[in-house]
């Protein structure tokens, strides 16, 4: 699940694939695509997946308000309880709260995450959303699609497609958590195992 906690291990940054401006432009384009595709923002809601999907969803909400002059409801989804690897991890992930303070019934949900990789996070998020209600549709927006899917899942809105090898880590850095806006590719040295 895309959260690069590995930079402490002396991981090497290979390339910066998006800088602040590129992230901003990608989010603007995605916002326009969402509005166009849904013919406005009626019955639309944004749901960010913890952690980095949350600030991305919040930014999309702001941009959509700028364009359409209307507020779109936004929720936060924690998918820990729906992970498929709980029983194989010795360290349990901390459960954080889910906050979707509106009904999802008959709503077009835009699920937002930073990186689409194996698709397992999205599978968990879909299950979590279905337990909260019956949305009319669920669409997926991601900042980066790096390939290597293990499940039949695709994104509807993509900031940037980035071909990667499994040895690489795509790290999305956002002001809210990391003090900068950028997307970088890191690679493990000899220490490396595979982390999503």
Q: Where does this chain bind other proteins (CB under 8 A)?
A: 78, 81-82, 86-99, 127-128, 131-133
**Minimum distance, C-beta of residue 98 to other proteins, in the bound complex (Å):** 6
Q: Cβ closer to other proteins: 39 or 92? A: 92
Q: 160, 167 in Cβ contact below 8 A?
A: no
- Least Å distance, CB 97 to other proteins, is 4
51 preceded by a cis bond (ω within 30 of 0)? yes
Q: Name every residue whose Cβ is closer than 8 Å to that of residue 11 and which is 6 or more positions away in sequence.
A: 4, 169, 186, 187, 188, 189, 192
Contacts of 134 (CB under 8 A, 6+ apart): 104, 105, 106
Which CB atom, from 86 or from 151, has the smaller least distance to other proteins? Answer: 86
CB of 171 to other proteins, least distance (A): 18
Return the number of the residue (36 or 91) whose C-beta is nearest other proteins: 91
73 vs 133, which CB is nearer to other proteins? 133
CB of residue 88 to other proteins, shortest distance in Å: 6
Separation between Cα atoms, residue 50 and residue 82, nearest integer Å: 13
């Amino acid at each position: 699940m895309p959260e690069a906690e590995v930079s402490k291990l002396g991981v090497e940054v290979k390339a910066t694939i998006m800088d602040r401006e590129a992230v901003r432009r990608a989010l603007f384009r995605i916002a326009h695509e969402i509005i166009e595709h849904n013919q406005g923002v009626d019955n639309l809601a944004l749901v960010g997946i913890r952690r980095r999907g949350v600030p991305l969803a919040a930014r999309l909400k702001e941009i959509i308000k700028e364009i359409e002059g209307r507020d779109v409801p936004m929720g936060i989804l924690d998918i820990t309880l729906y992970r498929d690897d709980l029983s194989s991890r010795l360290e349990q992930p901390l459960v954080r709260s889910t906050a979707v303070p509106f009904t999802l019934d008959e709503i077009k949900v835009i699920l937002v995450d930073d990186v689409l990789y194996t698709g397992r996070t999205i599978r968990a998020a879909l299950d979590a959303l279905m337990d909260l209600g019956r949305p009319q549709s669920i669409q997926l927006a991601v900042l980066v699609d790096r390939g290597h899917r293990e499940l039949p899942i695709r994104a509807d809105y993509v900031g940037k497609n980035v071909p990667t090898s499994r040895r690489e880590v795509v790290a999305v850095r956002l002001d809210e958590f990391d003090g900068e806006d950028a997307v970088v590719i890191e690679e493990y040295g000899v220490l490396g195992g595979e982390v999503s």
